[in-house]
Amino acid sequence: MPICRTGGASRPRPGPLHLAILCAIAVLPRLAAAQDAAGSPLGIMDRSSGLGMSREYNPAMGGSLIIGGEYLSRKATRMSLPAAVQQGLGETGLHFNEAEISVSAAVDPYFRADLIVAFAYDHGAFSTDIEEGYVTTLFIRGFTIRAGKFYLPFGRHNTLHTHAFPFIDAPLPLVHVFGPEGLNMMAVEGSWLVPLPWFVELTFDVGSHDNPLFRSPEGHDLVYGGRLRTLADLDDDTTLEIGGSYFGGKDLAGGWTHAYGADMTLRWRPARREMYHQLVWQTEYVRVSRQNDHAVPQPGVGASTDEQAAWQALQDVPGGSAGLYSYLAGQLGRRWWLGVRYDAFGFPWGRGDGHHRVTGILTFLTTEFAALRVQYGYLFGSDAHQVLLQANFVIGAHPAHAY
Amino acid sequence: MNTNTNRGWLVAGLAAFGLVAVVPAADAKIRVVATTQDLAYFARVIGNGEADASSILKGFQDPHFAAAKPSFMVEVSRADVLLSLGLDLEIGWLPLIVTGARNPSVMPGQAGFVDCSQFVSPIEVPAAGADRSKGDLHPKGNPHYWLDPENAKKLARGIADRMTQVDPGDAAAFAGGLAKLLSEIDQADAGAKALFAGSEIPPVVTYHVTFSYFFERYGIRPAGFIETKPGIPPTPGHVASLVTQLKALGKAPAIIVEPYYDMEVPRELGAQVNGRVELTPSSIGGTDEARTYKDLIVTVARKILGK
Ligand SMILES: [Zn+2]
């Protein structure tokens, strides 16, 4: 069996993440049909661990820690806010928001595994959750297959972990439609880099019905969907990304629920000054429609907040509803970011308990691993003011910065 | 978005794919994609007309903070050879591009993937291992090794070997290209030596430890750095202590700034110590003067000397 080179006379050892990725993809290509078998420059493992406790195959580990504070205006008690907003909010006070541990490694020459465990604290209760845990293939030309539990590729925001959110809280339409945990479930996914002169990626997923939006009464129905993502370079400094997403499955009433998404991201990052300036304008539109309007049984008293939120989302507007968010974020200097966001849910207005909000955020970074953020939000309708503070730390394996 | 629009995209995508698929790959040239413009230049000269070489970054861009643009995945998906500098310089972005490209030919471990740091011996390797309290950028040693002509020759030979391994049919062309490149590197070295010979070298301050290998080759001891640690921006206290240090030397320093750093702090420092601030290329293409490797090395020497 081929082995990854982990040590050599004159070369320093690779770091954990690099090692994981290099090892992961080092030897796989041998499987690929088009691969020239000659000349794989693999080294020989010349060290051994007598007791079998070698560190060489330890996974790359990383962690993040988020602590925060919140002020909610007196006029707006938590319970007076719309259901979806409540879930994005806590209460006035200091919070230990979330800690995450991530572990990544090559399983063997053909698969890579990633596991992200989240520890959260909400209203006096700690909870632990496998946020993501999946294996990914590494040996197929043009194609990737992934299986496990993960954030499904619905739009841009849904796949982000909390510490990578552009604002402290998630946008209203996504919380409304998929609940505070997002669209995250057991699934099998295939994704294809379409061989075109510009970037086009097609992803297809088949998932379980773990999300409250798709909780079918049968208990065994699947969720189907995917995403088309395209990106064009407008010039050396500017890119435009346009994507479309769809997921569908049976809802609590046994009828089909469809979730559609469209997203657009314009990013400007000037060459020579990439460390100091960046401008991002991102907009996502989300629409949910139901095949039929027959009544959905209300979840019992013991039901989870997810379930209640999903039920609520389906009640709000018979036949479905829609929402969007749009934000502009700019990097002012090496350590400062400023952002403003508008988000709304409950289109068309006047049919349900639609609500909308404006949010501003200021971020100070010491390095890319530590950020302090302060955010102000005003919720129209509820006339609620909210101030959030957050300190966000990342340690361990070097994080990958998805574009 | 509705299903019809979704379907329309799909149909358009598949149709376009069909068009691309029926066009045969006519050129037999190997495609080399490099992370930096220096590596792409080496591959182009070695290629001697038999290789298409392109770089992900332009010479004036910061290799520490590049973005994993999906358009680079498209480029790497069609590459026969991928050249990287290694030593974790590209760790924030290259792994995403490599995995996103889904191209088994240039996966690490294959002949098509070249971590060029294997051809040189890195300096400034953290003795007790890396720790982010010492800055984040160089956990495995200084990755700016291409600025030493001796290293450049090792790089040239290593890259030529790999290109030949991937495309043995063009071995003769590559050998000719390698000879040209080695002679250019010798000229670069001779050019820098001629400039330094008989000139008094002023105290040199750089923004980042980009020029360590260059300094070591030509016996220059840096007088200070504008950054407090690799990747950590300057603080007023650090600049103040730098001013004290430089004034104590009693000579006007040369303040060398790579094209991708902000000029404000270097200019402030220059004003306080009567220093000469020079925007200096650290890669081929970094400034208009540095179009070849020889030009790059000679330009750096000129900027230091103010000639
Ligand atoms: Zn560096």
Q: What is the mean pLDDT of residues A249-258?
A: 82
Between CA A168 and CA A71 the distance in angstroms is: 13
**Could you tell me if B298 and B162 lie in one domain?**
no
Q: Is the pLDDT of residue B157 over 90?
A: yes
Residue B128 inside a domain? The answer is no
- Backbone angles phi and psi of A118, in degrees to 5: -115, 140
Residue A82 CA to ligand 1 centre (angstroms): 49
How many domains, chain B? 2
Closest CB from A12, A22, A287 relative to B125: A12
Instruction: State the average pLDDT for chain A.
Output: 79
CB atoms within 10 A of CB A108: 14
Provide the pLDDT for residue A10.
40
Higher pLDDT among residues A303 and B262, named by residue:
B262
Higher pLDDT among residues B277 and B25, named by residue:
B277
Residues of B in contact with A262 (CB under 8 A): 1
| Cα-Cα-Cα-Cα dihedral sign, residues A11, A13, A19, A23 | positive
CATH of the domain at B176: 3.40.50.1980
Answer whether A145's CB lies under 8 Å from A174's CB. Answer: no
Q: What is the DSSP string of B144-190?
A: -GGGSHHHHHHHHHHHHHHHHHH-GGGHHHHHHHHHHHHHHHHHHHH
| Direct distance between the N- and C-terminal alpha carbons of chain B, in angstroms, rounded to an integer | 61
Provide the pLDDT for residue B42.
97
Question: Does A193 contact B102 at a Cβ distance shorter than 8 Å?
Answer: yes
Between CA B121 and CA A39 the distance in angstroms is: 23
Find residues 193-212 of chain B whose CB sits inside 8 Å of chain A.
Answer: none
Between CA B162 and CA B153 the distance in angstroms is: 14
Q: Does B260 touch chain A (CB under 8 A)?
A: yes
Q: What is the pLDDT of residues A155-209, one digit of tens each?
A: 999 999 888 899 998 998 898 888 878 899 999 999 999 999 999 999 999 998 7
Report strand pairing: A184-193 vs A199-207. Answer: antiparallel
Find the length of chain B: 307
Percent of chain B with pLDDT over 90: 71
Taking CA atoms, A254 is separated from A219, A249, A291, A296, A349, in Å, by 10, 9, 10, 9, 27
Question: Does A272 contact B60 at a Cβ distance shorter than 8 Å?
Answer: yes
Between CA A226 and CA A31 the distance in angstroms is: 27
Question: Does B88 contact A18 at a Cβ distance shorter than 8 Å?
Answer: yes
Q: What is the pLDDT of residues A260-315, one digit of tens each?
A: 999 999 999 998 888 899 999 999 999 988 876 656 667 777 766 666 766 666 66
Residue B125 inside a domain? The answer is no
Question: Does B3 contact A201 at a Cβ distance shorter than 8 Å?
Answer: no
**Could you tell me if B156 and B45 lie in one domain?**
yes
Report strand pairing: A278-290 vs A320-333. Answer: antiparallel
Provide the pLDDT for residue B84.
96
**Could you tell me if B241 and B276 lie in one domain?**
yes
Q: Is the pLDDT of residue B167 over 90?
A: yes
Percent of chain B with pLDDT over 70: 91
Q: What is the mean pLDDT of residues A37-65?
A: 62
In chain B, whose CA is at the least distance from the CA of A270? B61
Provide the pLDDT for residue A337.
96
Residue B127 inside a domain? The answer is no
Q: What is the mean pLDDT of residues B196-201?
A: 90
Residues of B in contact with A22 (CB under 8 A): 108-109
For the A59-396 domain, the top CATH level (class) is mainly beta
Residue B129 inside a domain? The answer is no
Residue B257 inside a domain? The answer is yes
| Test mutation, A19, A25, A224, chain B, max B CBs within 10 A | A25
Q: What is the pLDDT of residues A142-153, one digit of tens each?
A: 999 999 999 999
Answer whether B99's CB lies under 8 Å from B70's CB. Answer: no
Q: Is A262 strand, coil or helix?
A: strand
Question: What domain range is B59 assigned to?
Answer: 5-120+134-189
Provide the pLDDT for residue A19.
47
Distant-in-sequence, close-in-space partners of A323: CB < 8 Å, separation ≥ 6: A172, A173, A176, A177, A285, A286, A287, A343, A344, A345, A346, A347
Answer whether B223's CB lies under 8 Å from B243's CB. Answer: no
Question: Does B109 contact A239 at a Cβ distance shorter than 8 Å?
Answer: no
What ipTM was reported for this prediction? 0.82
Closest CB from A42, A194, A369 relative to B13: A194
- Bridge partners, residue A102, by sequence: A62, A116
**Could you tell me if B141 and B238 lie in one domain?**
no
> Which of A9-18, A130-139, B23-32, B99-108 has the lowest average pLDDT?
A9-18
Residues of A in contact with B2 (CB under 8 A): 260
Q: Is the pLDDT of residue B35 over 70?
A: yes
- Bridge partners, residue A389, by sequence: A69, A374
Between CA B190 and CA B217 the distance in angstroms is: 12
CATH 2.40.160.10 boundaries in chain A: 59-396
Question: Does A38 contact B111 at a Cβ distance shorter than 8 Å?
Answer: yes
**Could you tell me if B169 and B206 lie in one domain?**
no
Tokens of B61: 């861009």
**Could you tell me if B149 and B261 lie in one domain?**
no
| Test mutation, A21, A285, A364, chain B, max B CBs within 10 A | A21
Question: Does A199 contact B13 at a Cβ distance shorter than 8 Å?
Answer: no
**Could you tell me if B184 and B259 lie in one domain?**
no
